[in-house]
Amino acid sequence: MTDEKSLEQLEFEETGVTRSERWKVMWASIIGYAMDGLDVLILSFAMAAIVSEFGLTLGEGGLIATYTLIGTVLGGYLFGVFADYYGRVHTFSLTIILFSIFTGACAFADNAIHLDILRFLAGLGLGGEYGIGMTLVTETWPASKRARATAGVAMGWQAGAVLAAILAAFVLPEWGWRGLFLVGVVPAILAAWARRGIKEPPLWVRRHALKKALKAKKAAGETLTTEEEEELKEAGKFPLAHLFGAKTGTTISLTLMTSVQNFGYYGIMVWLPMILLKEHGLTTKSMSGWMIVTVLGMIAGIYIFGYLADQLGRKIPYLIFYFGAAAMVYVYVNLGSALALLIGGAFLGFFCNGMMAGYGTLLSENYTTDARSTAQNFIFNTGRAVGGFAPVIIGTLAQQHGFSAAFALLSCIYILAAVNVFFFIKDTKGKIIK
């Protein structure tokens, strides 16, 4: 008990946050990121019914997802900056409110244009979730547990995806796609409720107070020390400016990592179900089993990655998982039996999505409090924008050269990402963020 108390005291001294407060932040962030997974999958399940009701072509239906993605990326950029200027918690709540209102409004769309607009606006709110949630967690959890904490948040997406599948199974047959969007507001309201009583991280509060004090001192005509002048100059930068200059190389390398992550995820998850159904003859029922096993593999990969990143450092797990993903993508697309595809799905999910555990930690440790939320959202959502091209690129290559060739290219991309990590990413394990 004495050791436990002393550990808790040390963690409080490092973060200024109690254990119960940390866990409250953790759960709020998990639920927030679950909304991301829920939203993506709800649209996927509802798409066929939407296309049918509005008489859309497949291309026009795809535009609904495209407008959502555009809104998500822009929302990430916008609200990342807001969170650095005005606080993480207030901005987090604003994104949830925005997402909730316009997700519910989708149920009342009269035509495809209205739905496109509403999905874009819902995307704006959705885009801020990832980076702000990760920032809150990394600023309130100790360095020794930081990667496991961000792994916990990353699991939220998978939980949201599972919830979407459950809602679709029960709601879609009875109330259609409109009912699905309407019911989808309930988890968003739960996410807003989970933020009750959460305070701004002491790290942000202290930095914000220092900036105000220095500005007031200068405005009063008092002389600032050289160190204070430097602090005020640094604090006065637009948050996005912190990502460039001396940090340009780091920002490019980290953006390459998030781009590969999203490119691989969307490239695999969009096309593999069709490959399994058409080329391997799996039934829709078998596909449900494949999806469950793959998601379980993803969750296991995220957990293991977070543990390894706290124990071995940030670089080694990325190298292991990038090479593992390269091998599994190439092997998996060439498997034959249903059992091999099922078991292989778990390993595919393990390596390709396990790396999601580490981005929140790695991004937080490379940027200061003045730009941490901006960095999280700008770098990850830029990667998400790049990843949005994966389905069309993989599909086009598969059309011309077959899926084996297309996925072989994806394997090469994972290997290039490992090279990027080896040469250009610094290991920041144990870093006390400022």
Summarize pLDDT for 40-50 with one digit per residue, the tens.
778 878 888 89
Segments in 55-145 forming alpha helices (H): 58-86, 88-105, 112-127, 129-138
Task: Lowest mean pLDDT of 129-138, 313-322, 334-343, name the range.
Answer: 334-343
pLDDT at 328 over 90: yes
The pLDDT of residue 193: 77
Predicted confidence band of residue 284 (pLDDT cuts 50, 70, 90)? low
pLDDT at 230 over 80: yes
Task: Return the CA Rg of the chain.
Answer: 22
pLDDT at 137 over 60: yes
The pLDDT of residue 4: 54
Percentage of the chain modeled with pLDDT above 90: 54
pTM to 2 decimals? 0.91
Task: Lowest mean pLDDT of 212-221, 292-301, 348-357, 393-402, name the range.
Answer: 393-402
Q: How far apart are CA 380 and CA 362, in angstroms?
A: 11
C-alpha angle with apex 190: 185 to 193, nearest 5 degrees? 130
pLDDT at 140 over 90: yes
Q: How far apart are CA 90 and CA 85, in angstroms?
A: 11
- More confident of the two residues 333 and 315: 315
pLDDT at 290 over 90: no
pLDDT at 295 over 80: yes
Q: How far apart are CA 251 and CA 272, in angstroms?
A: 31
Residue type, 136: L
pLDDT, tens digit, 9 for 90 and up, residues 338-362: 788 889 989 999 999 999 999 999 9
Predicted confidence band of residue 283 (pLDDT cuts 50, 70, 90)? low
* Strand blocks (E) in 204-292: none
Predicted confidence band of residue 85 (pLDDT cuts 50, 70, 90)? very high
pLDDT at 194 over 90: no
